[in-house]
Structure 1
Amino acid sequence: MRRAFTALSVVAAAAITPVVAATSAQANQSTCVNYIGNHGYAVGPKVKAACSHPAFQGPLGDGKIPNPDCYSGLVNAGVRGTDVYRACVRA
């Protein structure tokens, strides 16, 4: 009985973990995309691709650092500097 419970717990954790991870990553991408859209830019595949690169946690836990791939992707999509930074820290 104990082994069956342990095996069931492992299987359940393995099934749930990807869903939880995907949901939080998607939420951050959506926040970045929404920020761009709310600031008057057209949201297309380039913006969505750029926002798919998540921000990094600061070295001392002191906030987020934009991912260079997000930053360059939004610049190439025509987004201006301040808006790029603010969107990418939300990714």
Structure 2
Amino acid sequence: MKMKRAGGVMAAALAAILLPIVVASPASADQGDCQLYLYDRGYNVGPKVESACKTGANTRNVGRFIQCYWGLTAIGVKEADAAGACQSA
């Protein structure tokens, strides 16, 4: 009888530990990641960068990457940095 009870307690404890891991949503990037990417590379993050990164993070926008990219390169962000930032968004 004690073995069944111990097994039940262990199962409940294991479930309590694993449930938050299993239920957690997958990590996703956002406009803050895009802005941080550029900030870390020495760019000033102002309203135009914020706008482009917000566009890049909008999952409902089919052309979001290219719009983000164009928005950033139009304000002088290097092409490679714009691509990396928009990929982060």
Q: Structure 1's 48 and 56: CA in aligned 2 closer, same or farther, altered over 3 A?
A: closer
Distance of 2:86 and 2:33 partners within structure 1? 9
Q: Which residue of 2 aligns with 1:73?
A: 71
Report sequence identity in percent: 40
Q: Which residue of 2 aligns with 1:34?
A: 36
Q: Which residue of 2 aligns with 1:89?
A: 87
Report the residue type matching 2:87 in the other structure: V
Report the residue type matching 2:71 in the other structure: G
Distance of 1:39 and 1:86 partners within structure 2? 11
Q: Which runs of 5+ in 1 are unaligned?
A: 1-23, 58-64
Using the TM superposition, give the Cα deviation of residue 54 of structure 1 relative to its aligned residue in structure 2, in angstroms: 3.0
| Structure in which a larger fraction of residues adopt strand | 1
Q: Indicate the structure (1 or 2) with the bigger Cα radius of gyration.
A: 2
Using the TM superposition, give the Cα deviation of residue 76 of structure 1 relative to its aligned residue in structure 2, in angstroms: 1.2
Q: Which runs of 5+ in 2 are unaligned?
A: 1-26
Residues 19-57 of structure 1: per-residue CA shift (max 9 Å, x gap): xxxxx88x6100000000110011100000000123699
Q: What SS class does the counterpart of residue 41 from structure 1 fall into?
A: coil
- Write the mapping of 1:1-91 to structure 2, written as runs, cut at 5 A: 28-54=30-56, 67-91=65-89
Contact 2:30 2:57 in 1 (8 A): no
Distance of 1:55 and 1:48 partners within structure 2? 10
Which runs of 4 or more aligned residues in structure 1 lie more than 2 Å from their structure 2 counterparts after TM superposition? Answer: 54-57
Aligned length: 60
